[in-house]
């Protein structure tokens, strides 16, 4: 994972007149990575959400006792996507994953 210093350095080089390809070569990263950094910085962590499916809606379905598969069928998401969203909202760790640093 790249840190914010690399993103800042890429921005400085780009603003100094270097192309994205030149910045990538100077920093030793892929050009797509540099373009991503320049368009918005670091990617956010955690599960990607669907804007049209609110967190409250998913939690309400879960409180009704619906399974992940049943919620997935109603929301047109995958069952895994629903489960990961519920895990993220409840603060529950994903199975098989180590505890995050500092937790």
pLDDT in tens, the chain (103 residues): 567 888 889 889 988 989 889 999 999 999 988 888 888 755 555 556 666 788 889 999 999 999 999 999 888 888 988 998 888 888 877 667 676 676 5
Question: What is the structure's pLDDT at 69?
Answer: 94
Residue 103: its pLDDT value, please?
56
Quote the number of domains for the chain. Answer: 2
Question: Do 35 and 62 belong together in one domain?
Answer: no
| 80 assigned to some structural domain | yes
Is 100 a domain residue?
A: no
In a domain, 95, yes or no: no
Chain centroid to CA 67 = 24
Q: Taking the model in full, what pTM does it have?
A: 0.46
Which domain, by its residues, includes 61? 55-90
* pLDDT at residue 2 in the model: 62
Please check whether residues 36 and 8 belong to one and the same domain: yes
Q: Are residues 86 and 60 in the same domain?
A: yes
CATH of the domain at 15: 1.10.10.60
Say if 25 falls within a structural domain: yes
Distances (CA, A) of 2 to 28, 41, 69, 71, 99: 12, 10, 35, 35, 20
Statement to judge: residues 8 and 33 lie in one domain? yes
- Residue 102 included in any domain: no
Q: Which residues contact 4 (CB under 8 A, 6 or more apart)?
A: 41, 42
**How far, in Å, CA of 21 to CA of 59, rounded?**
44
The confidence score (pLDDT) of residue 81 equals 87
């Amino acid at each position: 994972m790249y840190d914010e210093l690399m993103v800042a350095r890429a921005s400085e080089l780009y603003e100094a007149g270097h192309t994205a390809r030149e910045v990538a070569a100077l920093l030793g990263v892929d050009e797509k990575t540099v373009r991503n950094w320049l368009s918005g910085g670091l990617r956010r962590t955690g599960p990607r959400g669907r804007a049209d499916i609110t967190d409250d809606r998913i939690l309400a379905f879960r409180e009704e006792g619906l399974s992940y598969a049943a919620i997935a069928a109603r929301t047109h998401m995958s069952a895994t996507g629903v489960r990961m969203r519920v895990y993220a909202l409840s603060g529950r760790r994903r199975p098989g994953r180590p505890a995050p640093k500092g937790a």
